[in-house]
């Protein structure tokens, strides 16, 4: 066994999401995070993406567990799917584990799992290495950096972070400890690259509290606020503003109810007595005594906010004096969905406050100056930009170089690349299997490129089926050809076109039969070709053409 | 015939794109602009959207022509499709008409059309009204506001505009004339709402020129710049920077070649002698003597920039010293496409400059302070916010109210609403037909909601076909049932599932035949139901299920 440290990102590089990093030394393999990814617009019908963990399965005996930096979906979302393939201990702060537990319950897996709750500052001793949790700040409570102590030096993974000097829970990032670790000797830094393109320093989460206070002043109707359900500190501030304005608070949306319940139970969210009410009890209060906190900040059509806006929420109708606050930014790709909800609310005549209008959201990821601070405190020997698309990794590399790091000490890696390092040097020495497993419904991995290609083609052009029954003894057509379309043209407006297809297919089929040309593949190919040409000529479209010939 | 003025937006309200507004008085109907719209992500396979002009067809005799504010696609793109339904004169500045002409040529329509070139300041006299073109500034040359003079007062349509005090061609907006018209009496103002959410004043197009000059300094390789092909002034500035740095310029991308050719012929674009070269001649120059201006600023996969980035451009390979400049902002919805191109270029090791890094783009639409200036100069009696989603129209209304306009003098309208007005009052008095006609291939209007619903369903879940041949005399199965899938699951990994479907379908079909239950509709419905249940149970998916039963 090599005496070198290996660091292998199995996910999270070159794309946002699906974060999972493997760190190994001798007999120990530790996994940092186990997140899900999000399908892009070309992955029709795919619900979510999980990482390929073949490498872990092949090295099962050495895997000591998953160590979580925080509880966001892109860091914990794949856990149920991965534990089904391979059970292992889970380490994280109470909120992180609480959120994982509630996920595992949905999959009926909570009984078999081994959860180890840690406090920031805790250090887990394994066979050859130690894993230390260091308190961090991010847009979710209970976030940590993870320091893996090896005989060759420390591997320091920031997780997702921002440097918030005035966090809502007053639990500041443990910068002193990070400095101390830097002094001790950090061999490799892996750091969050998400906001490397933004200059300056991210505003503190507390700034939102002040804006909310001001916005709540003098509102006659209900205040309906949407944010990420996991942003406990944001929710805490909405609750502060509500109770300061004598408003009760109700939650709407499954993940909002679930996560706030976990956070309350674990003491991360404080709700003053007699403040929380059920949606069902809203009728007992006047509108100016109510705040509703909902899911749907990304405009998701099935989430609470969109349902309210479009008038199909079970309990909540838009009322004229309502004030809506969208306390989140659209993730790239969701702009149109969010815009649709804003437009609909304005059409209903209510006020809507969102990022373009007021400062009702701050990012949870470090800007340039914070990233420089992290470089300074850790002054690592080697550096691997993490958590970002290639452009972010590249700019993070540039930033480190500006601060004096040597080009060949910085590694922009791809998922599956193996970085081997000791106290002297580091190099990418190989690759292991890594990739996307697509989850659709309860099927894991049964949707792949071919299925997606077909869906794409069906989506863009629709399909046309030619079906016929033939008798191979008499070489005659026994039924059909019939023509059926889906997603191609209005059948009733296109009778002429469909009839032309039927005639052409019949002619071709008769000719093939007349020549006794009944090799199955050729028969289908010929019909397909004739129909394809006809349709392209008449419509300039290329639907999927499916000739079905049955022998009877 | 009413003596009132009618203003009817047939497109462009509540959405960005498809701009077309009808203004009529007595015997005259004038149409302002005739743009195309862009399909949203749910309109699978749709190429473009054009407005429904039923209203114009019904009032053919009075329609005097289309008057164009400027040559962007969302203002001229539907012209070929509309002229096929109804020929009419076209009025616009030379560049606008030049761009329309080149579109009409592609449709073989250029011979039958009647084009009337105007200069800013020109006034077209019709039977009862006059149409005046007023010089404006926007992100395309030759932009105008349009003032329709009626006996009841002036209807002033800003078109798309910004107030650029230092435009590249020194042709400033004719603010004096707008002020004069305001003094004369503007009955109704229709104004661009796109950027009403942005505070302050938009930067002048000239600021980009300075940034480009600086970026070009000391570049060792080629400079490859992408921008909107129609942004002639941007292209002019890229050419300035190139010739100041002794670089030849080549164009890449069909629309870039087409539009710059039109602009040069008409004198809108000045290229110094011996500067323009063909792509084919690039080899004759060293890399630091070359600038390439390409299409693809929105990351469109088939456009020149993406082709270059992904290595499948006919002529251009990425070279290590290339500097890429993306001189445009992604339109909402295109962020991911643009990001993909940036990532790919960085992976190839070249420098890429874009909006997040440097000020290489300015908007062509007025910010808040410019919109206030427009309100001040025109001080209209009535106001209709135009060109925007509902949220923009709403904020534009708020802005006008802040400046003292009465709430009931401002009309947020929907496409098809009829605003009737005279010098005293204005009111929405009815609706005419308006809407989206979808264009797919050469089919106009043959893709509608049902087809789109089918495509959506196929896209998300794929399909499964059960096909069988039966003999109705003997009530027996003659062929099949066979099972065919597309976009559902990997057939080869799912043999068991497919076999289970086959068995279930066979059983159901046999049972129906045994009971001589051969009512066609019922037979199919029964098989569909059985298969649907089985698939949902086993996969939690609901593909489109198509039972095809043939009689032989």
| DSSP labels, A427-495 | EEEEE----EEEEETTEES---HHHHHHHHHHHHH-EEEEEEEEETTTTEEEEEEEEEEESSS-TTT-H
Contacts with A332 from chain B: Cβ below 8 Å: 335-336, 339
Q: How many CB atoms lie within 10 A of CB B448?
A: 14
pLDDT at A2: 55
Chain A interface mutation, best of B395, B486, B534, B544, highest count of A Cβ atoms under 10 Å? B486
What is the C-alpha to C-alpha distance for residues A393 and A329, in angstroms, rounded to an integer? 22
pLDDT given for residue A490 in this prediction? 67
Higher pLDDT, A446 or B88: B88
- Give contacts of A335 with chain B, Cβ < 8 Å: 332-333, 335
A482 touches chain B (CB under 8 A): yes
With CB atoms and an 8 Å threshold, state whether B346 touches A390: yes
As a whole number of Å, the CA-based R_g of chain B is 29
CA dist B98 → A292, B78, B119, B259 (Å):
55, 15, 14, 9
Interface A-B, measured as beta-carbon pairs within 8 A, has a size of: 199
Distance from CA of A300 to the nearest CA of B (A): 14
Of the CA atoms within 13 Å of residue B298, those in its CB half-sphere come to 8
Tell whether B427 lies on the interface with A, counting CB pairs under 8 A. no
All residues of chain A having their beta carbon less than 8 Å from the beta carbon of residue B460 are 44-45, 455
Shortest CA distance from A335: residue in chain B: B332
A118, A92 Cβ separation under 8 angstroms:
yes
- B451 and A332 in contact by Cβ < 8 A? no
Residue in the structure block whose two tokens are 């959201």: A361
Q: Does any CB of chain A come closer than 8 Å to the CB of residue B459?
A: yes
Nearest chain B residue to A349 by CA distance is: B394
Least confidently predicted of A94-108, A285-299, B3-17, B507-521? B507-521
Run of H or E including A513? helix A495-514
**% of chain A with per-residue pLDDT over 70:** 97
* Annotation marks residue A52 as catalytic: no
Position A493 scores a pLDDT of: 66
Q: Report CA-CA distances (Å) from A161 to A35, A530, B213.
A: 16, 60, 38
Residue numbers of chain A with a pLDDT score lower than 50: 1
Under a CB-based contact definition with an 8 Å cutoff, are residues B212 and B219 in contact? no
pTM summary value? 0.84
In degrees and rounded to multiples of 5, residue B128 shows phi and psi of -115, -10
| Rounded Cα gap, residues A77 and A40, in angstroms | 17
Kindly compute the dihedral angle of the four CA atoms of residues A63, A66, A67, A73, in this order, to the nearest 10 degrees.
160
Query: Hey, are the CB atoms on B546 and A486 less than 8 Å from each other?
Result: yes
- Residue A229 annotated as lining a ligand binding site: yes
**pLDDT at position A1, please?**
46
Give the Cα separation of A496 and A503 in Å (integer): 11
Q: Which of A435-449, B130-144, B292-306, B320-334 has the lowest mean pLDDT?
A: A435-449
Give the pLDDT of residue B250: 97
Is A245 annotated as belonging to a binding site?
A: no
Residues 181-210 of chain B with CB under 8 A from chain A are: 197-198
Confirm or reject contact between B442 and chain A (CB < 8 A): yes
Beta-carbon separation of A493 and B446 below 8 A: yes
The answer to whether B548 contacts A467, with C-beta atoms less than 8 Å apart, is yes
A135 in Cβ contact with A154 (< 8 Å): no
Binding-site residues of B for substrate, please?
229-231, 361-365
Contact present, B146 and B132 (Cβ < 8 Å): yes
- Using the predicted structure, report yes or no on whether residue B349 has a pLDDT greater than 80: yes
pLDDT > 60? residue B114: yes
The number of helix segments (H) and strand segments (E) in chain B equals: 15, 25
User: Around Cβ A490, how many Cβ atoms within 10 Å?
Assistant: 16
The pLDDT assigned to B387 comes to 96
Instruction: State the nearest Cα–Cα gap between A35 and chain B, in angstroms.
Output: 21
- Say yes or no: B539 contacts chain A, CB-CB below 8 A: yes
The predicted model gives B524-532 an average pLDDT of: 87
- Domains in chain B and their CATH numbers? 5-200+363-438 (3.60.15.10), 206-353 (3.40.50.10710), 449-551 (3.10.20.580)
> Angle, to 10 degrees, between the axis of helix A368-378 and the axis of helix A175-185?
50
In this complex, do A458 and B463 lie within 8 Å of one another by their Cβ atoms? yes
pLDDT: which is higher, A45 or B362: B362
What confidence tens digit (pLDDT) does each residue in A171-210 have? 999 999 999 999 999 999 999 999 999 999 999 999 999 9
Would an 8 Å CB–CB cutoff place A281 in contact with chain B?
A: no
Residue B499 has pLDDT above 90, yes or no: no
Mean pLDDT of B151-158: 97
Residues of chain B in contact with residue A490, where contact means CB-CB under 8 angstroms, are 446-448, 450-451
A501: which strand partners? none
Which residues in chain B are contacts of A301 at CB distance < 8 A? none
Q: Which of B197, B458, B541 sits opposite A440 (nearest CB)?
A: B541
Side-chain-facing half-sphere of B350: CA atoms under 13 Å: 25
Asked if B482 is an interface residue toward chain A (Cβ–Cβ < 8 A), one would say yes
pLDDT digits (tens, 9 = 90+) for B246-292: 999 999 999 999 999 999 999 999 999 999 999 999 999 999 999 99
Residue B399 confidence (pLDDT): 97
**CA distance to partner chain B, nearest, from residue A535 (Å):** 11
More confident residue, B48 or A494: B48
Give yes or no for residue B1 having a pLDDT over 60: no
B519 Cβ under 8 Å from any chain A Cβ: no
Cα separation of A411 and A420, whole Å?
11
CB spacing of B459 vs A459 below 8 angstroms: yes
Question: Among residues of chain B, what percentage have pLDDT more than 70?
Answer: 97
B534 touching A (Cβ < 8 Å): no
Per the annotation, does A40 bind a ligand?
Answer: no
Read off the pLDDT of residues B171-193 as tens digits, 9 standing for 90 and up.
999 999 999 999 999 999 999 99
């Amino acid at each position: 066994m090599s005496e070198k440290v290996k660091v292998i990102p199995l996910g999270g590089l070159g794309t946002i999401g699906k974060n999972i990093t493997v760190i190994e030394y001798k007999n120990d393999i530790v996994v940092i995070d186990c997140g899900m990814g999000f399908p892009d617009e070309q992955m029709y019908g795919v619900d979510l993406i999980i990482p390929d963990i073949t490498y872990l399965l092949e090295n099962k005996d050495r895997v000591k567990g998953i160590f979580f930096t925080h509880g966001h979906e892109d860091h914990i979302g794949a856990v149920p799917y991965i534990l089904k393939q391979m059970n292992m201990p889970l380490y994280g702060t109470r909120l992180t584990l609480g959120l994982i537990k509630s996920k595992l319950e949905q999959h009926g897996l909570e009984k078999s799992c081994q959860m180890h709750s840690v406090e920031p500052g805790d250090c887990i001793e394994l066979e050859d290495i130690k894993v230390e949790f260091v308190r961090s700040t991010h847009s979710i409570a209970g976030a940590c950096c993870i320091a893996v102590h090896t005989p060759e030096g420390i591997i320091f993974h920031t997780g997702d972070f921002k440097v918030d000097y005035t966090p809502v829970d007053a639990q500041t990032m443990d910068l002193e400890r990070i400095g101390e670790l830097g002094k001790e000797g950090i061999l490799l830094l892996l750091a969050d690259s998400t906001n490397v393109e933004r200059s300056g320093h991210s505003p503190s989460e507390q700034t939102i509290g002040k804006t909310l206070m001001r916005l709540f002043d003098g509102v006659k109707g209900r205040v309906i606020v949407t944010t990420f359900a996991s942003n406990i500190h944001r929710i805490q501030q909405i609750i502060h503003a509500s109770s300061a304005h004598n408003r009760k608070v109700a939650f709407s949306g499954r993940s909002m109810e679930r996560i706030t319940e976990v956070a309350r139970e674990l003491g991360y969210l404080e709700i003053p007595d007699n403040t929380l009410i059920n949606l069902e009890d809203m009728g007992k209060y006047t509108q100016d005594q109510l705040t509703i906190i909902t899911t749907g900040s990304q405009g998701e059509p099935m989430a609470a906010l969109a349902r309210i806006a479009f008038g199909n929420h079970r309990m909540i109708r838009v009322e004229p004096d309502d004030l809506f606050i969208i306390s989140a930014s659209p993730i790239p790709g969701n702009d149109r969905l969010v815009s649709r909800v804003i437009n609909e609310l304005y059409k209903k005549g209510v006020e809507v406050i969102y990022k373009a209008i007021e400062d009702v959201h701050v990012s949870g990821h470090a800007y340039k100056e914070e990233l420089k601070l992290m470089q300074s405190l850790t002054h690592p020997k080697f550096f691997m930009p993490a958590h970002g698309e290639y452009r972010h990794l590249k700019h993070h590399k540039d930033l480190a170089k500006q601060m004096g790091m040597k080009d060949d000490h910085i590694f922009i890696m791809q998922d599956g690349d193996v970085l081997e390092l000791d106290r002297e040097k580091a190099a990418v020495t190989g690759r292991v299997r890594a990739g996307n497993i697509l989850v659709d419904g309860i099927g894991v991995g049964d949707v792949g490129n071919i299925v997606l290609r077909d869906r794409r083609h069906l989506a863009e052009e629709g399909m046309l089926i030619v079906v016929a029954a033939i008798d191979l003894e008499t070489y005659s057509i026994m039924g059909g050809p019939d023509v059926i379309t889906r997603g191609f043209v209005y059948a009733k407006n296109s009778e002429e076109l469909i009839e032309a297809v039927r005639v052409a297919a019949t002619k071709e089929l008769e000719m093939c039969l007349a020549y006794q040309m009944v090799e199955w593949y050729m028969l289908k190919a010929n019909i397909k070709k004739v129909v394809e040409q006809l349709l392209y000529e008449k419509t300039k479209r290329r639907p999927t053409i499916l000739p079905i010939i049955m022998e009877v």
